[in-house]
Amino acid sequence: MKTKTLVLKPKTAKSAPATPVVIVALEQTQTNLSALAKQLQVKEMRFANEDLLKEFFGVTKDEVTPFVLSNATPEQLGRLILVVDAALVQMGEAELVFHAPAMASPIQNTATGLLEFFRNLPLEPKTVDFQTLTTSASASGEAKGAAKGKPKPKPKAATPAPKAETEATGTAKIGVEASKDVDFPKWYQQVLLRGEMIDYYDVSGCYIIRPWAFYVWKSIQKFFGEAIERMGVEDAYFPMFVSHRMLEQEKDHIEGFAPEVAWVTKAGSSDLEEPIAVRPTSETVIYPYFAKWIRSHRDLPIRINQWSNVVRWEFKNPQPFLRTREFLWQEGHTAHLTQEAAGVEVREILDLYQRVYEELLAVPVIPGIKSEREKFAGSLYTTTVEGYIPATGRGIQGGTSHCLGQNFSKMFNVVVEDPSAKPEERGSEEEARKLHVWQNSWGLSTRTIGVMVMVHGDNKGLVMPPRVSSVQVVVIPCGLTVKTTPEERRVVCDGVQSVVNKLQAVGVRARADLRENYTPGYKFNHWELRGVPLRLEIGPKDLRSQTTLAVRRDTGSKQPIALSDLTTLVPTLLETIQGDMFRRAKENRDRNLKVVTRWEDFVPTLNSKAIILMPWCHEIACEESIKERSARSDESDEPEDEKAPSMGAKSLCIPFEQPAEPKIIFGETLCVGCGIPAKSYGLFGRSY
C-alpha cells in the first residue's frame, strides 16, 4: 500500500517560530488541507519550503518519509504537529510502502511498525479521519483552490454531521471499535454507519437507508409480496395525506396516534384552509372505501396491501430501524364475511411474518397472541411474532397481524346483506339483515432489518444471512507482491473474474474486489465489516492447484474448494451458513428463554438477560403490577427511559406453542405474578 508524507507550514507571524505539520497518509487519501487546518486550529497551510525541511529534518523535498522525524530535535518535535491518516492506522499488519523520489528503493513497513516508531518520539501523533473531514469541511465553507478556481461562495452547509459522529471525528472509523458486549448502543450505531446500512440525516429521527440495507427490504418485499399475491391480496396505493375529519373518525383508534401525528399546514407561502395529517397508519383512510366498494357478500373477501411510508413523530429517543419518525412498511387491510375466515387469514399472515424472520433473516421468533393491555387499539385481538436480542436480553415485537373484529366495520358502516337470510325475510325487512364485515389489518416494517443486525452482528461488523445479502460471495485476489509480474497479476485477476462469472451463472450474487491500491487484508476487513457471508481467496498458488480458499463470515472457518466444484459447493455452503446462523441464533434464544414458576426468580432471571415463560392469569392489573415490580429504578442512576435496562418487564405474548412441562392445570397452577389461577404460560421480558 503506497503512502505519502506531506510537510506543511501554517501561516504564522514572520517573527514567530515555525510550527510544521507533518501528514502521513495513504497515497489515495484526499487530505483536505483547509479542513485540516480548521480542525487543528492553525492558520492557512502551505507546503514547507526547502529551508524548513533542511532546518527540521536535514533533507530535501525529494527525501521526505516519516522516518526523517528522527532527525529533528526534541524541541523541534515539541513544536510540530504529526497527523496520521486514520485509514493508514487501520492497515495493521498490511505492508506499507514509503517512497521518496530521491530514494533508490522504497522503505517497507507495517502500520503497526510505523506507530511503534512514532511512539518512541517525544510527540503525540493525531489520528485524523480525512473521509469525515472532507465532508464536514465541504459543509463549512472552505476556501480551497482559490489559486485556480473562481472564488465562488460555497453553500453554507451540506451534509449534517450528527452529534454522535461529530464526536467520533478524529478517530479511525473503518472498522467497528465498540464491543457488542460492552457498549451495545455504540456498537449498533457503528455497525450500521460503517457497514453502510444507514447514514444520519439532519431531520431528527429520520435516517437514510443505504443500498446495502435496502437490499434486505427488497428481499422481504419479494418474498412476502409474492406470497400474499398468491393468497389473492392486491396491491394499491392510498394517499399519505389525511384530512382532520377522516383521521378522527375512529376516536379510540386515533387516541393512540394523535400525539405523534405530523401536520402539514402550509403549501408554498400559503396557509392551508385546514391542516392535513401525514398518515401514521391507514385504517381511517381505507375503510370508508371498503364501505363504498363492498356492495355484496360476493365482493368478499376484499384484500388490499400497500407498501408505503408512514410517519409517527415520536418524542422518545430515536433508533435507526427500531424507532424512526418516518419508516417503511407494508400494511394489509382485509374484510371477510365471517369471523372464522378473518381468523384464518390472521394466522396465515403471521406465519408469513415468522417465515420472513426465520427463513430470510435467520432470526427465531415466538408467535403468539398479545395480552389485552398490549393489543392494537381498536382490535379484537392482535397476534405477533416476538424476537429476542441476546446482547440486551430484551424482547422485540417483530410484526403484528390484527383481527379488528367488527369494530371498524361498525364505525365505517361496512355492511353486506346476510347471504344466509331466507329470501322471504329479505324482501320485507331487508334493512335489518345487514351484516358488518370482519376486518383484519397487518403490518411488517423496516424494523426487521434492525433486528437482523442486532442478532447476528459481531465485533467485526455485520453478519448478513446469505438469502438477504446484496453480495453473497466476494472474491479477492491474494498473494500478489511487488515482485509479481503484470502478466501474473493479470492471470490472477482473470481467475477471480472467471470464478465470479461462474457463480453468477448459477444465481449466486458474487462480486470481485479487484481494487488495485488496497491490500488483501484491507479488503478482508472491508467485506467482513459489511458482513458478506463468504469470501473466496485466489492467488497464483490457488490457480496452480485449481482451488480457492473459502472463508465463512459467520464462523471464520476456512476450507479449500476445488474450482471445478464451485458451482455446486458454493450454493450449498451458502445454504449451510443460512441454516447455521438460524440454528445458532435459536440455540442462543432458547438458552435465554427460561421457565419461571416463583416470583422470587422473576427479576433475577430478567437481570440475567433472559426472557421468561411463566404461568399467567392474563389479567391487565397483574401485568401492570409485574411491570412496576420488575423495574430496577433503585438499582441504578440511569434515566427513566424505555431504553434503559432498568425498565420493567411486560408481556410479550401468550405463545401459541406452550411449554409441555410443567403442565398448567387450571385451578391448580397459579399465576406467578399474582397468585390467582393461571390460564396459560405468558412470555414476559424487558422489551424495545
The sheet with strand 547-552 has its strands ordered as 510-512, 473-477, 534-538, 547-552, 558-562
CB-wise, 210 or 609, nearer to its own copies?
210
* 262 binding its own copies? (CB under 8 A): yes
Residue 553's φ and ψ, nearest 5 degrees, are -70, -35
Distance, CA of 353 to CA of 619 (rounded, Å): 27
Write down the least CB distance from residue 199 to its own copies, Å: 6
DSSP state of 51: H
Using DSSP bridges, classify how beta strands 326-336 and 438-445 pair: parallel, antiparallel or unpaired.
Answer: antiparallel
Mapped onto helix, strand or coil, the DSSP state of residue 326 is strand
Strands 81-85 and 21-26: parallel
Cell 428463554 locates to: 593
Which residue of 48, 304, 596, 613 would you call a contact of its own copies, by CB under 8 A?
Answer: 304
Residue from 434, 490, 591, 663 in contact with its own copies (CB under 8 A)? 434
Q: Binding to its own copies (CB under 8 A): which residues in 4-23? A: 4, 6
- The residue from 15, 41, 105, 296 that contacts its own copies (CB under 8 A) is 296
Q: Does 529 bind its own copies (CB under 8 A)?
A: no
CB 69 within 8 A of CB 81: no
Of 112 and 159, which CB lies nearer to its own copies in the complex structure? Answer: 159
Instruction: By CB under 8 A, name the one of 51, 340, 430, 635 that touches its own copies.
Output: 430
598 binds its own copies (CB under 8 A): no
428 counts as binding its own copies under rule CB under 8 A: yes
Closer residue to its own copies (CB): 231 or 328 = 328
Smaller CB distance to its own copies: residue 376 or 412?
Answer: 412
Does the footprint of its own copies cover residue 46 (CB under 8 A)?
A: no
| CA 68 to chain CA mean position, Å | 45
Q: Is 102 in the site for its own copies (CB under 8 A)?
A: no
Type of residue at 674: C
Q: Which stretch binds its own copies (CB under 8 A): 65-73, 118-126, 133-141, 532-540?
A: 133-141
Q: Which stretch binds its own copies (CB under 8 A): 11-19, 294-302, 528-536, 653-661?
A: 294-302
Among residues 563, 559, 558, the alpha carbon closest in space to that of 545 is found at 563
Q: Is the dihedral of CA 52, 56, 61, 64 positive or negative?
A: negative
| 145 binds its own copies, rule: CB under 8 A | yes
Q: Which is nearer to its own copies, 392 or 519 (CB)?
A: 519
**Calpha distance 556→561 (Å, rounded):** 15
The sign of the torsion formed by the CA atoms of 371, 377, 379, 385 equals: negative
Does 390 participate in binding its own copies (rule CB under 8 A)?
Answer: no
- Site size toward its own copies (CB under 8 A) is 102
**CA angle in degrees (0–180, nearest 5) for 494-496-497:** 65
Give me the phi and psi of 395, to 5 degrees please: -80, 160
- Toward its own copies, which CB reaches closer, 235 or 372? 235
The verdict on 412 binding its own copies (CB under 8 A) reads: yes
Nearer to its own copies, 260 or 587 (CB): 260
* Contact between 320 and 192 (Cβ < 8 Å): yes
**How many Cα atoms occupy the beta-carbon half-sphere of 244 within 13 Å?**
7
Contact 393, 686 (CB under 8 A): yes
Longest distance between any two alpha carbons in the chain, whole Å? 112
Residues 154, 156: Cα–Cα separation, whole Å: 6
CB 623 within 8 A of CB 299: no
Terminal C-alpha separation, the chain: 44
Find residue 198's DSSP bridge partners: 209
Among 103, 264, 506, 665, binds its own copies (CB under 8 A): 264
Q: Which grid cell sits at 472? A: 453473497
Rounded Cα distance between 71 and 74, Å, is: 9
372 three-class SS: coil
Q: Which is closer to its own copies, CB of 167 or CB of 429?
A: 429
CA distance 647 to 149: 58
Does residue 383 contact residue 369 with C-beta atoms inside 8 Å?
yes
Cβ proximity to its own copies, 67 vs 184, nearer residue: 67
DSSP character for 430?
Answer: G
The answer to whether 184 contacts its own copies (rule: CB under 8 A) is no
CB of 535 to its own copies, least distance (A): 20
Q: How far is the CB of 516 from its own copies (least distance, A)?
A: 9
Q: Does 199 bind its own copies (CB under 8 A)?
A: yes
Q: Which residues in the 443-502 window bind its own copies by CB under 8 A?
A: 470
For residue 86, the tally of other CB atoms under 10 A from its CB is: 24
Q: Report the nearest approach of its own copies to the CB of residue 418 (Å).
A: 11
- Of 13, 16, 182, 267, the residue at the interface with its own copies (CB under 8 A) is 267
Residue whose C-alpha cell is 444465481: 507
In the complex, minimum distance from the CB of residue 459 to its own copies, in angstroms, rounded to a whole number: 25
Which C-beta is closer to its own copies: that of 313 or that of 381?
313
Nearer to its own copies, 215 or 388 (CB): 215
Looking at 25-33, 49-57, 341-349, 650-658, which segment touches its own copies (CB under 8 A)?
Answer: 25-33
Closest to its own copies by CB, 292 vs 583, is 292
DSSP state of 318: P
Q: What 3-state DSSP class applies to 311? A: strand
Which residues 148-167 are close enough to bind its own copies by CB under 8 A? 148-149, 152, 154-160
User: Is residue 209 close enough to count as binding its own copies by CB under 8 A?
Assistant: yes
Would you count residue 147 as binding its own copies (CB under 8 A)?
A: yes
For its own copies, give the closer residue by CB, 440 or 680: 440
295 in contact with its own copies (CB under 8 A): yes
Return the amino acid letter for 678.
A
Q: How far is the CB of 239 from its own copies (least distance, A)?
A: 4
Q: Give me the least distance between CB of 267 and its own copies, in Å please.
A: 4
Question: Is residue 670 part of the contact set for its own copies (CB under 8 A)?
Answer: no
144 binds its own copies (CB under 8 A): yes
Task: In whole angstroms, give the CA distance from residue 69 to residue 111.
Answer: 16
DSSP, collapsed to helix, strand or coil, labels residue 532 as coil
Using the minimum distance from each CB to its own copies, give the nearer residue, 392 or 446.
446
Q: Determine the Cα angle at 342 with ends 339 and 343, to 5°.
A: 85
Q: Which one of residues 97, 208, 562, 665 is an interface residue with its own copies (CB under 8 A)?
A: 208
CB of 547 to its own copies, least distance (A): 29
**In this chain, which of 1, 8, 21, 31 binds its own copies, going by CB under 8 A?**
31
Pick the piece of the chain touching its own copies (CB under 8 A) from 109-117, 325-333, 377-385, 485-493: 325-333
Of 474, 470, 460, the C-alpha closest to 523 is 474
Span near its own copies by CB under 8 A; candidates 361-369, 420-428, 450-458, 600-608: 420-428
Would you give the binding string for its own copies spanning residues 215-254, x where CB under 8 A is met?
A: x-xx---------------xxxxxxxxxx-xx--xx----
Residue 521 C-beta: closest distance to its own copies, Å: 18
* From candidates 44, 55, 95, 326, binder to its own copies by CB under 8 A: 326
Using DSSP's 3-state secondary structure scheme, residue 409 falls into helix
